[in-house]
């Protein structure tokens, strides 16, 4: 009888055969607006910075094999896993949950479930990715509502703030907001290297009496959670604080967070377009722009949303990074870099330990171990 060698075994042989400490990242090649070629180009870009990454790439092998074969840098570092179908941006999450087992997205998340990869990355349909992730990875014990956290360019020394939830769900109860604070602080500690992050609750004013009922309820209970979660609660913050330096972590419900994220991106895009028009205006300003080119490029780099591409799903048994649907190679590479950093720091294990230690189900302060 021939011994059965399953897919995961083969992957392990291929990726870990030579180097034992590579971080394996599972990538959905089919989800993005720009197609699998942009994703494969992103893998190459990410590898150029980092030799410790290996990939399991999910999608139609007839399309992927030639793309991967054309990139010598991927040789020995990328296994293609065939999935005949792709989730589209129009697919409903509920349908994908019922009939999506043969999609590249499902296969991508399953690589984390089986343990062959540490983190999953997809540019696809956010709702479907969250639905599959919830179904296959399940919520961390003690977590009620998972959240999507994003990085936001800010005035802080590290250059970024964390905001969550930016769209996992359209609402949040006070208990959810408390958990978001705990999870966001843990992400900032591990992802941004901030030992004691400052956390703010997003509201329409900073006075204690302002805002919606669920915010007031969360406000009252937050100091107790901050003591257990080892973060500093600064109280209510406003929209202007999202890119500011008053806090490191902004906590809000997924509806408000999603609108704020897209409003910020839209505003940045508008200004960047206006700038381009302004500098194209006259010969003098064109010459000026030429002289200022280095500074303009640094500015563009600082604000480029592709460089901070990647929302992270928090509160699951495994890490999933959601890249922009429109991500190009640079955007995909940024999402992979984020996935690598989180995998290296053992972020999800730390988050799980923190949640367990805090006894978040009842938010009662349990014994604290050596977790962060």
| Look-up of token digits 């406003």 | 238
State the Cα–Cα distance between residues 359 and 218, nearest whole angstrom: 17
Please report, for residues 19, 29, 55, 75, 197, the alpha-carbon distance to residue 61 in angstroms, rounded to integers and kept in the order given: 25, 10, 14, 16, 44
Q: Radius of gyration of the chain from Cα atoms?
A: 21
172 closest CA partner among 184, 158, 189, 187: 184
Q: Is residue 289 at the binding interface for a second copy, with CB under 8 A as the rule?
A: yes
Q: Is residue 290 at the binding interface for a second copy, with CB under 8 A as the rule?
A: yes
Q: Is residue 295 at the binding interface for a second copy, with CB under 8 A as the rule?
A: yes
Q: Is residue 173 at the binding interface for a second copy, with CB under 8 A as the rule?
A: no
Is residue 231 within 8 Å of 197, Cβ to Cβ?
yes
Is residue 321 within 8 Å of 312, Cβ to Cβ?
yes
Say which residues have a Cβ less than 8 Å from residue 16's Cβ, sequence separation at least 6.
22, 24, 54
Q: Is residue 95 at the binding interface for a second copy, with CB under 8 A as the rule?
A: no
Is residue 320 within 8 Å of 122, Cβ to Cβ?
yes
Q: Is residue 260 at the binding interface for a second copy, with CB under 8 A as the rule?
A: yes
Closer CB to a second copy, 114 or 267, in the complex = 267
Closer CB to a second copy, 98 or 212, in the complex = 212
Considering only residues 238, 350, 365, 368, which one is a binding residue for a second copy as defined by CB under 8 A?
A: 238
Q: Is residue 157 at the binding interface for a second copy, with CB under 8 A as the rule?
A: no
State the Cα–Cα distance between residues 237 and 268, nearest whole angstrom: 21
Count of chain residues binding a second copy (CB under 8 A): 60
Is residue 186 within 8 Å of 179, Cβ to Cβ?
no
State the Cα–Cα distance between residues 235 and 251, nearest whole angstrom: 10
Judging by DSSP bridges, how do beta strands 319-322 and 198-202 pair with one another?
unpaired
| Look-up of token digits 């360019």 | 153
Considering only residues 107, 154, 179, 190, which one is a binding residue for a second copy as defined by CB under 8 A?
A: 154
Closer CB to a second copy, 220 or 274, in the complex = 274
Q: Is residue 212 at the binding interface for a second copy, with CB under 8 A as the rule?
A: yes
Per-residue contact flags (x/-) with a second copy for residues 261 to 280, judged by CB under 8 A? xxxxxxxxxxx-xxx--xx-
Per-residue contact flags (x/-) with a second copy for residues 299 to 338, judged by CB under 8 A? x--xx-----------------------------------
Q: Is residue 159 at the binding interface for a second copy, with CB under 8 A as the rule?
A: no
The residue range among 8-16, 21-29, 221-229, 242-250 that interacts with a second copy, by the rule CB under 8 A, is 242-250
Least Å from the CB of residue 301 to a second copy: 10
Q: Is residue 5 at the binding interface for a second copy, with CB under 8 A as the rule?
A: no
Is residue 325 within 8 Å of 310, Cβ to Cβ?
no
What is the contact surface with a second copy in residues (CB under 8 A)?
A: 92, 153-155, 167, 170-171, 202, 204, 209, 211-212, 238-244, 252, 254-256, 258-271, 273-275, 278-279, 281-282, 284-285, 287-296, 298-299, 302-303
């Amino acid at each position: 009888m021939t011994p059965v060698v399953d897919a995961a075994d083969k992957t392990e042989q291929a990726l870990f055969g030579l180097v034992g400490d590579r971080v394996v990242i599972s990538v959905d090649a089919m989800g993005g607006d720009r197609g699998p070629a942009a994703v494969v180009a992103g893998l190459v870009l990410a590898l150029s910075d980092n030799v410790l990454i290996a990939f399991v790439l999910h999608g139609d092998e007839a399309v992927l094999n030639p793309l991967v074969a054309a990139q010598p840098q991927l040789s020995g570092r990328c296994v293609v896993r065939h999935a005949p179908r792709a989730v589209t941006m129009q697919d409903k999450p509920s349908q994908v949950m019922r009939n999506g087992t043969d999609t590249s997205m499902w296969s991508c998340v399953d690589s984390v479930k089986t343990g062959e990869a540490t983190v999953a990355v997809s540019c696809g349909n956010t709702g479907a990715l969250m639905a599959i992730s919830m179904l296959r990875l399940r919520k961390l014990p003690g977590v009620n509502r998972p959240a999507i956290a994003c990085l936001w360019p800010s005035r802080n020394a590290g250059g970024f703030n964390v905001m969550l939830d930016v769209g996992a769900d359209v609402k949040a109860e006070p208990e959810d907001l408390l958990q978001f604070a705990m999870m966001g602080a843990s992400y900032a500690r591990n992802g941004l290297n901030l030992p004691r992050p400052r956390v703010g609750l997003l509201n329409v004013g900073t006075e204690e009496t302002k805002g919606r009922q669920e915010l007031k309820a969360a406000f009252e209970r937050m100091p107790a959670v901050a003591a257990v979660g080892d973060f500093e609660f600064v109280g209510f913050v406003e929209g202007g604080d999202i890119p500011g330096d008053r806090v490191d972590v902004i906590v809000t419900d997924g509806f408000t967070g999603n609108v704020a994220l897209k409003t910020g991106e839209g505003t940045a895009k508008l200004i960047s377009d206006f700038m381009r028009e302004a500098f194209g205006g006259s010969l003098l300003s064109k010459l000026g722009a030429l002289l200022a080119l280095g500074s303009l490029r640094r500015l563009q780099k600082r604000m480029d949303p592709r460089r901070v591409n990647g929302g992270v799903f928090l509160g699951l048994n495994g890490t999933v990074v959601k890249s922009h649907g429109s991500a190009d190679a640079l955007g995909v590479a940024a999402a992979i870099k984020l996935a690598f950093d989180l995998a290296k720091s053992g972020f999800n294990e730390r988050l799980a330990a923190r949640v367990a230690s805090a006894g978040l189900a009842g938010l009662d302060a349990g014994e604290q171990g050596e977790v962060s």
